[in-house]
Amino acid sequence: MTEVRRLVISGIVQGVGFRYAMMAQARLLGVSGWVRNRRDGSVEAMIAGDAGQVAAMLEWSRRGPGGASVDDVMVETASGEYTDFELRPTA
């Protein structure tokens, strides 16, 4: 069964390659969805996969790539169907 979560990740998460690293990690794990920067300095993502894939992505999101410093990850249950993981424009 596919689980879908919306994440808003705050901290030092822009200008450190967070979106590209998240896309690489999602593709490695077989997770679909999208990621984008937000004008408030956070990163927003929609992730979809089985329970194990979503849990692994959430764990990664709390750390991020090497240059990031994650302060908080807000997680909401969401819905939607995605076939790949993509970068979206800033919102």
Cα gap 25→19, rounded to integer Å: 10
Round the average pLDDT of the chain to a whole number and report it.
97
State pLDDT tens for residues 18-30.
999 999 999 999 9
Domains and CATH numbers, the chain: 3-86 (3.30.70.100)
The residues annotated as belonging to the active site are 19, 37
pLDDT of amino acid 34: 98
**pLDDT confidence bin for 1, thresholds 50/70/90:** confident
